Amino acid sequence: MASEADFQALMRIMPPHAGAGDVVDWAAVEQGWGFQFPVDYKRFMEVYGGGAIDNYLATISPEPFGLDAAFQGMISETRNARANWDRRPGGQGVVTASSSLVVWGVDASADLLCWVTDGADPDRWPVMVWNQDDRQWTVFNCGMADFLLRMFRAEFDECPLGDLSLWGEADPQFLHTNEEKRLRAAGLDPWTGEPDPFADAEYN
């Protein structure tokens, strides 16, 4: 399901900025979670890393599994997703248990973007989205990179997320968390580049 062609297409639509990307100890992370992560997600972390797309969708870097979960990190958001799944009305046959869900993205509409980790091949894990506005789960038979591509190309039957910010977005912008912090510290709005005297308020 995940493919290098999808990732190359994603890079053409959303070129990474200089200094983006994270160095991840995949051996430690995967040992803690008990599975290997999809190849397109590993490539995304290598090239882009943890950050945000158009100040709307946050892509989450992996954490070693443990009790001390970072706020809005992969562990804490995965717990949120699993709690929402357990409270769902009715059934959703593609997921055998809430423990199958692992979150890779969250957005400003409080939607959760997950993998369904059932199955031995992580590159075939589908994406499942919790739409906070609709209060429902929807599964998409594609990986992370392909999901983002289809969002930017508006190729789903309708927008899966609670806002149209990325729907049909021909020129999406990615900012690594560190770059956003650097720009705010310099007194700039990281998304416009314009001076903003309050830009660094949340980091002081």
pLDDT tens digits, one per residue of 114-172? 999 988 899 999 999 999 998 889 999 999 999 999 999 999 999 999 999 999 999 99
In a domain, 59, yes or no: yes
Please report the beta strands in the chain, taking only residues with DSSP state E, as ranges in sequence order.
51-53, 57-59, 101-107, 112-116, 127-131, 136-140, 174-176
In a domain, 140, yes or no: yes
In a domain, 50, yes or no: yes
Domain region containing 105: 4-181
In a domain, 190, yes or no: no
10 Å Cβ neighbour count for 188?
17
Beta strand 51-53 with 112-116: parallel, antiparallel or unpaired? unpaired
Q: What is the pTM of this model?
A: 0.89
Under the banding of pLDDT at 50, 70 and 90, the label for residue 86 is: confident
Structural domain count of the chain = 1
* Mean pLDDT, the chain, integer: 88
Question: Domain of 40: which CATH number?
Answer: 3.40.1580.10
Place of tokens 């705010």: 184
Mean pLDDT of 27-35: 91
pLDDT tens digits, one per residue of 171-186? 999 999 999 999 999 8
In a domain, 56, yes or no: yes
In a domain, 192, yes or no: no
Both structure tokens of 101: 């869900």
Q: What is the DSSP letter of 69?
A: P
In a domain, 144, yes or no: yes
| Residue 200 burial by Cβ neighbours in a 10 Å radius (0-12, 13-18, 19+) | middle
Q: In which order are the strands placed within the sheet that holds 174-176?
A: 136-140, 127-131, 112-116, 101-107, 57-59, 51-53, 174-176
Mean pLDDT of 8-20: 95
In a domain, 97, yes or no: yes
